[in-house]
Amino acid sequence: MIPVIKAVGDKIDLIAYQGHNTGGSNNRGIMYDAYAYYAAQYGFVVAAGVHYPPEPWGPFYDYTHENVAMLSEHIYSHPEREERNDGIMIWQLLLEGSDSSGYSYLNTASKVLNGMPVGTAVSQANIFSLEPYSGVVAGCEGGAGGIATLCDIAVYNPANQYPNPGTQVVHNCQIWQNKWYINPNEIPGENDGWEKVGDCTEGEGCS
């Protein structure tokens, strides 16, 4: 990765590396330190990779709540990476067993990366909520998962494709349904692939 970083490091926002494929060393902070060295020079953020469940191939390094917490503490306290929002990337996100899961690993890492002592975070590894996300992305209004909605229907997004016929969207105070595969920028009212199926009185200028 060094030639890539030196060539385009100032254009990189985030490197999330697969730390679980870096060998059997017990010191998983070494790989993070290597990326952090270049991150400090070029300004990108680093996410250290951990793995759940244990790897089915060699060198059979097993992550645990304890060593995930220790790696997170190493990242949190790195003297050259303060307030850079470096963190943990996990492969893969599974929920199984009563003592650990991909969720519990991320929960442990999150607590330590936010300043909780390692021992406390490990003891609270399995204390987390599985409620679905119900927020929105900044700049969007209404709707779960960041999708803007009006009249409980997704607002048309010209950047999206709509591959499934029968998909409804709201555009210009009207409800449209696609008759076939719709490509980006094939706008309702301007493209024969959409048919009007109703009106929506919600939104600016609609009544």
13 and 77 inside one domain: yes
Q: What stretch of H or E contains 85? A: none
Q: Which two tokens stand for residue 73?
A: 């503490």
| Residue 65 banded pLDDT, cuts 50, 70, 90 | very high
| Residue 161 banded pLDDT, cuts 50, 70, 90 | confident
- Which pairing describes strands 153-154 and 168-171: parallel, antiparallel, or unpaired? unpaired
Q: What stretch of H or E contains 79? A: none
DSSP 164-188: STT-EEEETTEEEEESS-B-TT--B
**What CA–CA distances, in Å, run from 113 to 23, 33, 185?**
24, 16, 41
Q: What is the tens place of the pLDDT at every residue in 91-127?
A: 877 776 667 888 899 999 999 999 999 999 999 999 8
Residue 174 lies in a domain: yes
63 and 13 inside one domain: yes
DSSP 108-159: HHHHHHTT--HHHHHHTTT----PPP----TT--SSGGG--EETTEEBP-TT
Residue with tokens 């697969």: 18
pLDDT at 11 over 50: yes
76 and 148 inside one domain: no
Residue 130 lies in a domain: no
Mean pLDDT, the chain, rounded, equals 85
Q: Which two tokens stand for residue 182?
A: 């719709």
80 and 149 inside one domain: no
Write the CATH number for 158.
2.10.10.20
In the predicted model, what is the mean pLDDT of residues 150-175?
Answer: 90
- Considering 59, 88, 123, which residue would you say is the last residue of a domain? 123
24 and 81 inside one domain: yes
64 and 149 inside one domain: no
Q: For the ranges 56-60, 78-82, 174-178, which has the lowest average pLDDT? A: 56-60
pLDDT at 134 over 60: no
Domain extent at residue 184 = 144-199
17 and 115 inside one domain: yes
- Considering 123, 157, 190, which residue would you say is the last residue of a domain? 123
Predicted TM-score (pTM) of the model is 0.62
9 and 47 inside one domain: yes
At residue 132, the pLDDT reads: 58
Q: How many CB atoms lie within 10 A of CB 74?
A: 18
Residue with tokens 């936010």: 114
pLDDT at 175 over 50: yes
6 and 88 inside one domain: yes
Residue 205 lies in a domain: no
Residue 133 lies in a domain: no
Q: How many structural domains does the chain have?
A: 2
Q: What is the tens place of the pLDDT at every residue in 23-53?
A: 667 788 988 999 999 999 999 999 999 988 8
